[in-house]
């Protein structure tokens, strides 16, 4: 896609506008794929901007616009060379800090006391410890459901003492979409059930023996 857009003579900014990405992101992938921006030769023809020159100006705290005025080039050219050298103005760094500010706060949790809260997508805040406990609790509930539906015991030896020692073994690895480990049971119950239907329930010992061929699943 980048080759086609660059072949049409589009600049990094124009490609960014079409794809909904920042031009610095487009520049990163252009460089990553070994491609050349259409304005590169034009910039080089004028001598480009030296890294040492830009670094010195960035260190003074100048913005992109101020640097452009100082070197007599456009802001787009300055942004291009800043990206090329991996440099960021203090203004850009400050904007990123401000964007992240407020996402995490130290607040009082009824369960955990003073702790870190993270901003939710709906605009509210939630205690990270409470969120972690809720995720762990849901994973346990989903596994309990799947284990019960799979017979509740190891299908090889009958072990059923500890649910944590029971695992799901895919009968045909080719059909495996994901592992029903901690992350697997964090998916929707419907997806977890569909994956569990491809498996047999085994204790951890039998699972290892079957995986290495010591025991054959009958």
How many domains does the chain divide into?
2
Please indicate, yes or no, if residue 52 is contained in any of the structural domains. Answer: yes
- Mark whether 90 and 143 lie in a shared domain: no
- Mark whether 152 and 72 lie in a shared domain: no
Q: Quote the CA–CA distance of 67 and 87 in Å, as a whole number.
A: 13
- Mark whether 7 and 94 lie in a shared domain: yes
Q: What are phi and psi of 17, to 5 degrees?
A: -65, -40
Burial 59-83 (b: 16+ CB within 10 A, else e): eeebbbebbbeebebeeebbbbbbb
Q: Strand, helix or coil at 116?
A: strand
Q: What is the pLDDT of residues 17-73, one digit of tens each?
A: 788 787 778 877 888 888 876 655 554 445 678 888 888 888 888 888 888 888 888
- Mark whether 144 and 72 lie in a shared domain: no
| pLDDT over threshold 90, residue 15 | no
pLDDT of res. 199: 93
| pLDDT over threshold 60, residue 13 | yes
Helix (H) or strand (E) holding 118: strand 113-119
The parent domain of residue 77 ranges over: 2-98
pLDDT of res. 196: 92
| Nearest residue to 115 via CA among 126, 106, 124 | 106
Please indicate, yes or no, if residue 199 is contained in any of the structural domains. Answer: yes
Strand arrangement of the beta sheet that strand 125-127 belongs to = 104-109, 113-119, 125-127
- Mark whether 66 and 146 lie in a shared domain: no
- Mark whether 89 and 166 lie in a shared domain: no
Q: Quote the CA–CA distance of 104 and 55 in Å, as a whole number.
A: 32
| pLDDT over threshold 80, residue 99 | no
pLDDT of res. 158: 94
Q: Looking at 3-17, 32-46, 71-85, 185-199, which range is the least confident one?
A: 32-46
Please indicate, yes or no, if residue 218 is contained in any of the structural domains. Answer: no
- Mark whether 9 and 93 lie in a shared domain: yes
pTM over 0.75: no
User: 77, 54 in Cβ contact below 8 A?
Assistant: no
Contacts of 117 (CB under 8 A, 6+ apart): 104, 105, 106, 107, 109, 125, 126, 127, 128
Q: Dump the DSSP string for 157-217.
A: T---S-GGGEEEEESSGGG--S--STTGGGS-HHHHHHHHTTEEEEEHHHHHHHHHTSS--
- Mark whether 6 and 72 lie in a shared domain: yes
Q: What is the pLDDT of residues 155-186, one digit of tens each?
A: 999 999 999 999 999 998 888 888 887 666 77
Please indicate, yes or no, if residue 122 is contained in any of the structural domains. Answer: no
Q: Span 75-95, mean pLDDT?
A: 82
Q: What is the pLDDT of residues 130-163, one digit of tens each?
A: 999 998 899 999 999 999 999 999 999 999 999 9
Please indicate, yes or no, if residue 124 is contained in any of the structural domains. Answer: no
- Mark whether 10 and 62 lie in a shared domain: yes
pLDDT of res. 102: 61
Final residue in a domain of this structure, among 98, 119, 142: 98
Please indicate, yes or no, if residue 110 is contained in any of the structural domains. Answer: no
Q: Quote the CA–CA distance of 13 and 212 in Å, as a whole number.
A: 54
Please indicate, yes or no, if residue 195 is contained in any of the structural domains. Answer: yes
- Mark whether 93 and 8 lie in a shared domain: yes
- Mark whether 149 and 202 lie in a shared domain: yes
Please indicate, yes or no, if residue 91 is contained in any of the structural domains. Answer: yes
């Amino acid at each position: 896609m980048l080759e086609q857009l660059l072949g049409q003579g589009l600049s990094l900014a124009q490609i960014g506008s079409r794809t909904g990405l920042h031009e610095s992101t487009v520049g990163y992938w252009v460089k990553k794929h070994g491609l050349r921006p259409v304005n590169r030769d034009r910039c080089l023809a004028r001598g480009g901007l030296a890294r040492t020159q830009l670094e010195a100006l960035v260190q003074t705290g100048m913005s992109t616009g101020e640097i452009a005025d100082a070197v007599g080039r456009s802001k787009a050219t300055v942004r291009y060379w800043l990206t090329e050298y991996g440099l960021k103005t203090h203004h850009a760094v400050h904007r990123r800090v401000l964007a992240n500010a407020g996402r995490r706060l130290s607040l009082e949790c009824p369960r955990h006391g003073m702790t870190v809260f993270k901003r939710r997508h709906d605009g509210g805040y939630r205690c990270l410890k409470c969120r972690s406990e809720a995720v762990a609790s849901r994973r346990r509930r989903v596994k309990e459901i799947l284990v019960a539906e799979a017979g509740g015991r190891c299908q090889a030896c009958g072990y059923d003492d500890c649910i944590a020692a029971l695992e799901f073994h895919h009968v045909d690895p080719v059909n495996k979409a994901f592992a029903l480990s901690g992350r697997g049971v964090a998916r929707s119950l419907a997806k977890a059930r569909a994956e569990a239907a491809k498996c047999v329930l085994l204790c951890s010992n039998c699972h290892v023996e079957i995986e290495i061929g010591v025991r054959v699943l009958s």
